[in-house]
A and B are shown apart, each in its own frame.
Chain A
Amino acid sequence: MSGMSSTETPATDIQPCVRLRNISVQFEDFEALKDVSVEFPLGKTTLIMGPSGCGKSTLLKVAAGLLPPDRGEVEIAGVDALRGRPRAMSEMRKNTGFVFQDAGLWQNMTLFDNMALPLEFHYPERAENVVRREIYAWATRFDLSSILPLRPSTLSGGERKLISFCRAMILNPNLLFLDEPTTFVDRLGVERMLSVLREKKASGCSMIGVTHDADLTSQLADYILVMKAGELREFGTTSEIARSRDPEVREILADVLDEAATYDGDILDLLEPNGDLF
């Protein structure tokens, strides 16, 4: 797959959970995504990597159907995200979760209401005490129960991120989008997050994420998509990417995962810490 152009669709044998075809996104004069085509494998974790400003979050939002591209087609779980019927879209969304880079919490609601709303909206028949129990179960897991009556503006960046994570999990999604989920979160919070994500992965949940976190990458990634300047530079399994001979890809990974990483050994350690790469 080395040296693949951004217009090629990477060949995976696995059925895709999200299919993007010839996606281009323009922000005024800046072309954020340039004719990107990619199929994210179903039931696998794909992490998007690349230098800041290369279009990772834009690609993630397009893949999640949150940002309509200027050109191209988006298919999420078999539903045309740009022209799909509202009912099919709503059903599809019910099974997806998104953790925003800046948390994306609803500012005029308490944290409890931030977590309750998706449940109350999608499951209006669910009793109030059941909703409350589910919210407290997630909050307790992250040690956030005491702050549930507060509003987002009073929280630290890490707490906001954890609430955003819990909100994304509350509908028990089988397709999860993660935009820098661990940024601002302390070590314990990241460990708890990773524990949940490992469970989701084991249950067959498809995950697509953007991260600079080496732990997240080493513990979760099945596939890695490397981007540069709005183009898909390389896409493959972690082993394939770690073995890439493309010096530019290796340089990007070294920069993204660990500035101290060198070309030869450290990237492989980061991607395959158990040493079962070869």
Chain B
Amino acid sequence: MYAVGYFFEILREIPGFFLRRRSGLRVLTMQMLFTGFEALPVIAVIALGLGGIIVIQGLSLLPQFGQGQLIYTILVIVITRELGPILAAFIVFARSGTAITTEIGNMVINREIEAFIATGINPISYLVVPRFLGVTLSMMLLNVYFNVFGLLGSFFIAQLFQPLPFSQYAAGLFEAISGADVASTMLKSMIFGALIATVSTFYGFRVERASTEIPQNTIRSIGVGFTLLIVANGVLTLVYYL
């Protein structure tokens, strides 16, 4: 219940961020740089690899059943709707979520949080809200990036097995993808981003006195965060089919 209250406290502080853009914008920019921009290479490699594997497996199996066209549907389901958002979320949590928990935990130990409170700066408003917005926005952009690389990567891999013009490949993809797929993937990435930011900052603030609590809370945040991501992914997938 405390964590739920914490989440609503973040939501309540969001409007204040836009009133005090100057102080929070720096934190937001740095967060997006670290979470979004610096994660681009690793996201690209994983997306290309995933797209490639689907194409290799699909093109070797599906034509045997006369279902070669299904490769586009499978690509959309796996990359756009399912694995794209969740894999990007895992990467973001592993890189940025742990960094956020560690950073805030260290600030607690160094009494920097006390200094925020003493100067009347609400730590949730200044520290959490920009990170919440930064991670959520980055997560959504990285998801788009993952999709682009995953779907494009599969095209290049497909050239090795079954050369086909890009227009034909693109047409097949556009036929398989629907507005609901795009809405689903963007909604998932937005919710995953909000979850990552909430869980990682929450566990950062749970550090109290000793520096040994920092790795303990980081590990807890990973365990809880990954579990919540998987549960949320399952629920959202179920909702999609309802």
Which residues of A does B touch, CB under 8 Å?
A: 61, 64-66, 86, 90, 92-94, 96-98, 100, 102, 104-107, 117-118, 120-122, 124, 128, 167-168, 171, 177
Q: Are B111 and A121 in contact (CB under 8 A)?
A: no
Option from B20, B110, B118 in Cβ contact (under 8 Å) with A98: B118
Which residues of chain A have C-beta atoms less than 8 A from B112's C-beta? 104-107
Stretch at the interface among B34-42, B120-128, B215-223: B120-128
Chain A CB within 10 A, most for which of B111, B112, B118, B122: B118
Q: Are A96 and B23 in contact (CB under 8 A)?
A: no
Given A100-B111, A104-B111, A106-B112: A118 touches B19 (CB 8 Å cut-off): no
- A277 vs B107: C-alpha distance in the bound complex, in angstroms? 46
- A98 vs B115: C-alpha distance in the bound complex, in angstroms? 8
Q: Are A96 and B120 in contact (CB under 8 A)?
A: yes
Which residues of chain A have C-beta atoms less than 8 A from B120's C-beta? 90, 92-94, 96, 118, 121-122, 171
Instruction: Tell me the chain B residues, 42-65 only, with Cβ under 8 Å from chain A.
Output: none
- A105 vs B111: C-alpha distance in the bound complex, in angstroms? 8
Q: Are A100 and B22 in contact (CB under 8 A)?
A: no
Which residues of chain A have C-beta atoms less than 8 A from B4's C-beta? none
Chain B minimum-CB-distance residue to A94? B120
Q: Are A118 and B121 in contact (CB under 8 A)?
A: yes
Q: Are B22 and A118 in contact (CB under 8 A)?
A: no
Which residues of chain A have C-beta atoms less than 8 A from B121's C-beta? 117-118, 121
- A117 vs B126: C-alpha distance in the bound complex, in angstroms? 10
Given A120-B23, A121-B20: A93 touches B126 (CB 8 Å cut-off): no
B101-132 to A contact mask, C-beta < 8 Å, 1/0: 00000010011101111111110001000000
Total number of residue pairs linking A and B with CB closer than 8 Å: 71
Q: Which 5 A/B pairs are nearest by Cβ-Cβ distance? A: A93-B120, A98-B118, A104-B115, A120-B23, A118-B119
- A105 vs B110: C-alpha distance in the bound complex, in angstroms? 9
- A67 vs B85: C-alpha distance in the bound complex, in angstroms? 41
Given A104-B112, A106-B112, A107-B110: A124 touches B118 (CB 8 Å cut-off): no
- Nearest CB of B to A147, in Å: 19
- A177 vs B119: C-alpha distance in the bound complex, in angstroms? 11
Q: Are B21 and A96 in contact (CB under 8 A)?
A: no
- Show 8 residue pairs from A and B whose CB-CB distance is below 8 angstroms, ordered by the A residue: A97-B119, A100-B114, A106-B116, A117-B126, A120-B23, A121-B119, A128-B22, A171-B119
Given A94-B120, A107-B110: A124 touches B22 (CB 8 Å cut-off): yes
- A90 vs B19: C-alpha distance in the bound complex, in angstroms? 15
- A117 vs B122: C-alpha distance in the bound complex, in angstroms? 12
Q: Are A93 and B110 in contact (CB under 8 A)?
A: no
Q: Are B119 and A102 in contact (CB under 8 A)?
A: no
Q: Are A117 and B117 in contact (CB under 8 A)?
A: no
- Nearest CB of B to A81, in Å: 10
Which residues of chain B have C-beta atoms less than 8 A from A92's C-beta? 120
Given A86-B122, A117-B121: A124 touches B21 (CB 8 Å cut-off): yes
Chain A minimum-CB-distance residue to B114? A66
- A73 vs B45: C-alpha distance in the bound complex, in angstroms? 57
Q: Are A90 and B122 in contact (CB under 8 A)?
A: yes
- A106 vs B104: C-alpha distance in the bound complex, in angstroms? 12
Q: Are B23 and A66 in contact (CB under 8 A)?
A: no
Q: Are A93 and B118 in contact (CB under 8 A)?
A: yes
Which residues of chain B have C-beta atoms less than 8 A from A106's C-beta? 107, 112, 115-116
Q: Are B119 and A66 in contact (CB under 8 A)?
A: no
Which residues of chain B have C-beta atoms less than 8 A from A64's C-beta? 118
Option from A97, A107, A117, A168 in Cβ contact (under 8 Å) with B23: A117
- A50 vs B51: C-alpha distance in the bound complex, in angstroms? 69
Given A104-B112, A106-B112: A120 touches B119 (CB 8 Å cut-off): no
Chain B minimum-CB-distance residue to A102? B111
- Nearest CB of A to B153, in Å: 37
- A117 vs B115: C-alpha distance in the bound complex, in angstroms? 11
Given A100-B111, A105-B115: A120 touches B22 (CB 8 Å cut-off): yes
Chain B minimum-CB-distance residue to A61? B114
Which residues of chain B have C-beta atoms less than 8 A from A96's C-beta? 118, 120
- A104 vs B20: C-alpha distance in the bound complex, in angstroms? 23
Option from B23, B110, B119 in Cβ contact (under 8 Å) with A124: B23
Q: Are A117 and B110 in contact (CB under 8 A)?
A: no
Which residues of chain B have C-beta atoms less than 8 A from A102's C-beta? 111
Chain A minimum-CB-distance residue to B19? A124
- A102 vs B20: C-alpha distance in the bound complex, in angstroms? 29
- A124 vs B121: C-alpha distance in the bound complex, in angstroms? 12
Which residues of chain A have C-beta atoms less than 8 A from B20's C-beta? 120-121, 124
